[in-house]
Amino acid sequence: MEDDDLANVLRALGHPVRLHILRILGRQRSDCCCTDVTQCLPLAQSTVSQHLKVLLDAGVIERHPRGTRNCYTVRRERLENLGIAFGGLMAGLEAAPQEKSTEPV
Amino acid sequence: MEDDDLANVLRALGHPVRLHILRILGRQRSDCCCTDVTQCLPLAQSTVSQHLKVLLDAGVIERHPRGTRNCYTVRRERLENLGIAFGGLMAGLEAAPQEKSTEPV
DNA sequence: TTCCTTTATCGGCGAATGGCGATATAAGAG
DNA sequence: CTCTTATATCGCCATTCGCCGATAAAGGAA
């Protein structure tokens, strides 16, 4: 995972509403559309749609057109990759072999 | 870790330059000041100082006044807490304890 | 004291963000 | 066909971000 990509995902997750949306989507395993999410939040439908777009563009969620509505689901494997990338960042910080490090694997 | 706090940290990390700064600070075990970081980046000193402030406000790094300069170090335990909070978020997404989940492991 | 170095902060500027209402599109329902 | 529902997108506006140069404050050296 590139640094830019990692930063993108982190920034997408860096908003309380979007974290909340993620949890809502994760809780309901199937068939969660924009209005469903909106009813759980004190925000306008357009605002929720924009937040969904941010998460979508970051690759954190998926869209599944289902009849007249769009159902959103969490892309867990993508979040796992994020966890891995984050772990790699942490490992780099832990190692701290000044400059002459003989390098990672 | 509250959602707002979590979102704050994620947003602070959600910028390529700040990720880079984190790595720089993690690489050099001690005595890394603002100008040191600036020399590793194609940015003005004031810009780097602002990024350091963002990371500082988010609690991701610490400042240690050392003579005339300020040395910054990574707060690893804070990042570990972030990892834990993130893991909790993931777990919540995995669990999905609700109505009809017949669902695979 | 007088420099010099380091740093944080200020002001400014263009771009992005986050919120809203209004609207256009698309898919069913009747 | 018409009507309704669901959604995305389009302004619009206020705020924040990211960047810069310039400057002030503070510590150390001469």
CA of A8 to C1' of C14 (A): 21
Give backbone dihedrals phi and psi of B37, rounded to 5 degrees, phi first: -65, -45
Q: pLDDT digit of tens for each residue in chain B (105 aa)?
A: 899 999 999 999 999 999 999 999 998 867 899 999 999 999 999 999 999 999 999 999 999 999 889 999 999 999 999 999 999 998 888 755 443 333 443
Provide, as residue numbers in chain B, all residues whose Cβ is less than 8 Å from the Cβ of A29: 96, 98, 100-101, 103
A79-96 pLDDT per residue, tens: 999 999 999 998 888 755
Q: Work out the angle at residue B74's Cα, subtended by the Cα atoms of residues B69 and B77, and round it to the nearest 5 degrees.
A: 140
| pTM confidence score | 0.89
CA-CA distance, B77 to B57, in Å (whole number)? Answer: 16
For residue B70, which nucleotide's C1' is closest to its Cα? C7
pLDDT at A12 over 60: yes
Residue A28: the pLDDT is: 80
CA-CA distance, B93 to A27, in Å (whole number)? Answer: 6
CA-nearest of B74, B86, B62, B64 to B22 is B74
Four-residue CA torsion sign, A52, A57, A62, A68: positive
CA-CA distance, B10 to B6, in Å (whole number)? Answer: 6
